[in-house]
Structure 1
Amino acid sequence: MTAETPVCQLLARQDHDYRDWLWVAPPRDAWLEGGSGQLLSGDHGVLAAWQARGRLSYGPFEAWGEPPGAVLFWPKSHALGEWWLLALCRQLPTGTPLQVVGENSGGVKRALKVLAALGLGCRKRDSARRCTLFETRLGPVALDPELAWQRFEAAGLTLVSHPGVFGHGKLDDGTRLLLEVLEQQPAWAGRRVLDVGCGDGVLSAWLATRGAQVSALDINAFAVEATRRTLAANAVTGEVIGSDVYAALPAEVRFDAIVSNPPFHQERDIDYGPTARLIDEAPARLTSGGSLILVANAFLPYPDLLERAFGGFEVLADDRRFRVYRAIKR
């Protein structure tokens, strides 16, 4: 199988036996998915792809095995990369070989400073395809990965966040505008509401404190855990599921409303695919008269998607940076 992504192309040319190694936070790549080794990922889309092949895979909050080595794909969020390093040092035996790979434009060279700060020696193994591969060995570190979690106050709520979760440590302006619009809507008590792309759980917690029966979805396992912690911090309940848009929901489940501040980036690339699925499949997930309410950057091409899926929509708010749209299932 030929490697598809630059980082995997760099790994594929190594004279190294990666058999049974742990691949940590990798991209989708057929070379990895059809090869050897185990997966550790916070991306439920990647986890689902490996599980569909019958491959051994773990989420970040599960217990892992003890592989002969690990490869960490350095993420866009350097704080998240540091968390992965701390978690690997905490759970794997001292001396376990570790390789760190990433695109130069993604800041992989900053991993050197992180490794040095943790007291882990490191050397460059290879570079190609505008990517670099470092290698080191895991050792004991004093820092606890749990320290990466951050609590802060916003929108009258206590929010719990983690590096790599959208809006980490703050309430973004688009969500703030969406909350202002939701405040103006009819009473939420007793309504079944789905929060798609729940992030740190601010929308879910806000709705739950107003009596809504909340379900929340996110493809990011760190966001799923953050939302669970946010709901608990505000003494409210809700169902939180790791899912690539609606994929993990039973087909027969319907909601009175779907709310979302959907992402349009995948790492550094613009990707409208998840939001297109969010909109296109929303009518099938709504009760008659149910509504999809979402906020988006004003320049994004969502009106055509809403028109196609619902036959019409309205703009509930527009501050020139963000727009809040509502479409109703007739």
Structure 2
Amino acid sequence: MSAQTPVCQLLQRQDMDYRDWLWVAPPRDTWLEAGQGRLLSADHSILEAWREQGRPVHSALDSDLGSPPGAVLFWPKTHALGEWWLLKLCQDLPEGTPLQVVGENQGGIKRVLKVLAALGLGCRKLDSARRCSLFDTKLRRVGIDPELAWTRFEAQELTLISHPGVFGHGKLDEGTQLLLEALPELLPKGDCRVLDMGCGDGVIAAWLARRGARVSAVDSNLFAVEATRRTLATNRLEGRALSSDVYSALNDERFDVIVSNPPFHQERSIDYGPAARLIEQAPAHLEKGGRLVLVANTFLPYADRLEAAFGSFRVIADDRRFRVYEVQKN
């Protein structure tokens, strides 16, 4: 089977026995999923795809990773997240474990040389092709706890907990700000069940919980789910946070309101898939008269999808960069 992504195509041509190696934060690629080795990922959909193949997996938040013969780290576009992965591997894998780091040149893989040097890890370049590069090193104890990557900041009179792997790390996104300004007029009076779809650092979930809503929050990113749990706990608020591929973890649950600032990037590529499923499947998860409220960049083509799923929509707020849409189930 041939690899599909450039980084995996580079790995496939190596004269290496990757049997039982640990694949860390890889993309979706059937060459990996049908091969050998174990997965370490923070992506719910990738973890589920490997489980469906009967492959062994570890969550990004697991600490018991065993003693694999080696590991391959797929360098993310967010360098601070790549550094967190390096610290985690140095902490949780045996000293001396071979590590390869692979990534696209446009994604900043060449910066890995400086990062590894700063950690005192020697490095050599193994190969380059398909506009990707592959580096080789060995793990050692570095004395920096990856837990230090979790940070806190203040916004909306809340203390928010964030991680480099979470959207908008360390600040309140402008689109989310516009959404929160529009929400008070749209929430039902009294008791209501609200779903925060794509919960990020938990600012929307916490904002809703503080106003008395019964909040469920979901995200496909395990760092986001953990950040939301920590944000709710830090602010002494009630709510649940689940890892989910859009609605997959919710079965047939229904809500009075679904609120979202949906993602549209997958690494450096635009991906409308999750947002499309959020909109198309929303009627099945809303009570009669329930609302879907979402914010999006003005250039994103969501109006047609909202009209197709609900028959009509309203624009509640528009600051020329972001637009808040509201639709109601009849």
Q: TM-score range by the shorter chain?
A: over 0.9
Q: Which runs of 5 or more structure 1 residues have no equivalent in the other structure?
A: none
- Which residue in the other structure is 2:248 paired with? 247
Cα deviation digits, residues 22-70 of structure 1 (max 9, x gap): 0000000010000000000000010010001110001111132221100
User: In the alignment, is residue 175 of structure 1 matched against residue 176 of structure 2?
Assistant: yes
The corresponding residue for 2:6 is: 6
Residue type of the alignment partner of 2:276: A
One-letter identity of the residue aligned with 2:160: L
1:85-143 deviation line (CA, Å, top 9, x unaligned): 00000000000000000000000011111111000000001111110000000001111
> Aligned AA for 2:253?
V
Letter in 2 for 1:218: D
Q: Runs ≥4 in structure 1, deviation > 6 angstroms?
A: none
Quote the residue 2:216 is aligned against: 215
Partner Cα separation in structure 2 for residue 274 and residue 60 of structure 1: 21
Report what 1:236 is aligned to.
237
1:188–1:210 CA contact under 8 A, matched in 2: no
Q: What is residue 56 of structure 2 aligned with on the other side?
A: 56
Which AA in structure 1 matches 2:210?
A: T
Q: Distance in 1 between matches of 2:215 and 2:187?
A: 16
CA distance in 1, matches of 2:180, 2:161: 18
1:151 match: 152
Matched position secondary structure for 1:205:
helix
Residue aligned with 1:71, SS: strand
- What residue number does 1:164 align with? 165
The alpha-carbon distance between structure 1 residues 247 and 5, as it changes in their structure 2 partners (threshold 3 A), is same
Cα distance between partner residues in 2 of 1:73 and 1:186: 42
Deviation at 1:185, TM superposition (A): 2.8
Indicate if the aligned counterparts of 1:188 and 1:211 stay in contact, CA closer than 8 A. no
Aligned-partner Cα distance in 1 for 2:279–2:319 = 22
SS of match in other structure, 2:248: coil
**Could you tell me how far 1:316 is from its partner in structure 2?**
0.6
The CA deviation string for residues 172-220 of structure 1, in whole angstroms up to 9 with x for no partner, is 1100000001123345652100001000000000000111110011011
Question: In the comparison of the two structures, how many residue pairs are matched?
Answer: 329
How many Å apart are 1:238 and its aligned residue? 1.0
Letter in 1 for 2:30: A
Q: Does 1:109 align with 2:105?
A: no
Q: Which residue number in structure 2 is paired with residue 17 of structure 1?
A: 17
2:281 corresponds in structure 1 to 281
Provide the C-alpha distance between the structure 2 equivalents of 1:197 and 1:3, rounded to a whole number of angstroms: 30
Check conservation: 1:197, 1:216, Cα contact below 8 A.
Answer: yes
- 3-state DSSP of counterpart to 1:16: coil
Deviation of 1:168 (Å): 0.4
Question: Would the aligned equivalents of 2:103 and 2:134 in 1 still touch at CA under 8 Å?
Answer: yes
| Separation in structure 2 between the aligned mates of residue 115 and residue 209 of structure 1, nearest angstrom | 43
Separation in structure 2 between the aligned mates of residue 47 and residue 230 of structure 1, nearest angstrom? 24
The answer for unaligned runs of 5 or more in structure 2 is none
